């Protein structure tokens, strides 16, 4: 007796898990999508969620999952399959998701699997002697410009102002964008974009108003470029120099702090 091409199993209350054999792909992507989509629709009649766990190495199965209307949710690590711990990509559709054939649903489907890049906003704050405000961080040895990660749905320009208020107790609106710095993957981090905004010139006494967030900030100080080179990671020091060079100019683009040759 041949196995069914698809299997739907209830794995929790209101949750079904669908899987399919490689044979489903034999007739082509369109045919496979039609089969899986029908099974997903049928399962949603009795469940609020239908999910699929797909091998990251199986590109064909990933395409079938996507075009069947299942949204990519992330990677589940260390799933036990046939006694072996493996990684699986989680795809799912909820009963109240907008269907993929409608514009909003299609956009949500694309949004679930298209690449996302982390954004970091920082502020270049100077004193009247041209020194740059730097922070000594609790979670790494290097000093850095004040700022932090942009939240989902948050404006980068507003994010850096929020970070300064949360971490230093300073209310400094961000001015013009000075620099876009692409950071390649490094030491466990994925790549990211760092946006440096102009924080203007302020009296050095502004440090008296600093209230450091103790979980993240050890101290803050205005530093010369030479001090920045001594205290910061090399790419951070390059970013500071590039931002200073670009004051009053159009926003520049650098990679790991260094200008890119055209």
pLDDT tens digits, one per residue of 202-260:
999 999 999 999 999 999 999 999 999 999 999 999 999 999 999 988 889 999 999 88
Report which of residues 43 and 188 the model is more confident about: 43
Q: What CATH class is the domain 118-259?
A: alpha beta
Q: Mean pLDDT of all residues in the chain?
A: 94
pLDDT tens digits, one per residue of 19-40:
998 877 777 889 999 999 999 9
Q: Which pLDDT value is given to residue 93?
A: 98
CA 54 from centroid of its chain's CA atoms = 22
Neighbours of 136 (CB within 10 A): 16
Superfamily per CATH, domain 6-113:
Gcn5-related N-acetyltransferase (GNAT) (3.40.630.30)
Q: Of the candidates 253, 255, 247, which has an alpha carbon nearest to the alpha carbon of residue 126?
A: 247
Q: Which pLDDT value is given to residue 78?
A: 96
pLDDT tens digits, one per residue of 160-200:
999 999 999 999 999 999 999 999 998 888 999 999 999 99
49-54/84-94 β-pairing? antiparallel
Q: For 17, list phi and psi in degrees, rounded to 5.
A: -120, 125
Helix (H) or strand (E) holding 87: strand 84-94
Task: Name the DSSP class of 160.
Answer: H
Lowest mean pLDDT among 42-51, 147-156, 185-194: 185-194
CA 191 from centroid of its chain's CA atoms = 9
Spatial separation of the C-alpha atoms in residues 80 and 220, rounded to whole Å: 47
252-255/177-183 β-pairing? parallel
Domain boundaries, the chain: 6-113, 118-259
Give every CB contact of residue 78 below 8 A, 6+ residues apart in sequence: 85, 86, 87
Q: Which two tokens stand for residue 134?
A: 């730097």
Q: Which pLDDT value is given to residue 3?
A: 63
Contact 236, 142 (CB under 8 A): yes
- Report the share of the chain in percent with pLDDT over 90: 87
Residue whose pair of structure tokens reads 């489907």 in the numeric block: 109
Contact 239, 194 (CB under 8 A): yes
Asked whether residue 1 carries a pLDDT value surpassing 50, the answer given is no
Helix (H) or strand (E) holding 91: strand 84-94
Spatial separation of the C-alpha atoms in residues 98 and 41, rounded to whole Å: 13
Q: Which two tokens stand for residue 215?
A: 């979980």
**pTM, rounded to two decimals:** 0.84
Contact 184, 196 (CB under 8 A): no
- Report the share of the chain in percent with pLDDT over 70: 98
Q: Which pLDDT value is given to residue 262?
A: 63
């Amino acid at each position: 007796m041949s196995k069914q091409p698809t299997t739907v199993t209830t794995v929790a209350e209101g949750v079904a898990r669908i899987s399919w054999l490689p044979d489903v792909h034999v007739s082509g992507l369109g045919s496979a999508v039609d089969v899986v989509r029908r099974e997903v629709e049928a399962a949603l009649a009795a469940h609020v969620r239908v999910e699929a766990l797909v091998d990251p190495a199986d590109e064909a199965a990933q395409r079938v999952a996507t075009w069947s209307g299942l949204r990519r949710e992330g990677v589940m690590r260390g799933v036990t399959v046939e006694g072996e711990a493996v990684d699986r990509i989680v795809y799912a559709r909820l009963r109240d998701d907008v269907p993929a054939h409608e514009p909003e649903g299609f956009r949500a489907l694309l949004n679930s699997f298209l690449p996302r890049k982390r954004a970091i906003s920082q502020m270049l704050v100077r004193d009247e002697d041209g020194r740059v405000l730097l922070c000594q961080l609790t979670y790494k040895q290097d000093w850095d410009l004040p700022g932090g990660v942009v939240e989902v749905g948050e404006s980068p320009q507003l994010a850096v102002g929020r970070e300064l208020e949360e971490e230093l107790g300073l209310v400094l609106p961000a001015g013009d964008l000075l620099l876009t710095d692409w950071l390649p993957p490094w030491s466990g981090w994925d790549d990211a974009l760092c946006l440096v905004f102009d924080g203007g010139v302020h009296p050095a006494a502004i440090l008296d108003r600093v209230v450091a967030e103790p979980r993240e900030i050890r101290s803050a100080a205005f530093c010369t470029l030479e001090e920045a080179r001594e205290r910061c990671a090399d790419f951070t020091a390059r970013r500071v120099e590039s931002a200073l060079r670009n004051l009053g100019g159009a926003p520049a683009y650098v990679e790991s702090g260094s200008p890119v040759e055209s």
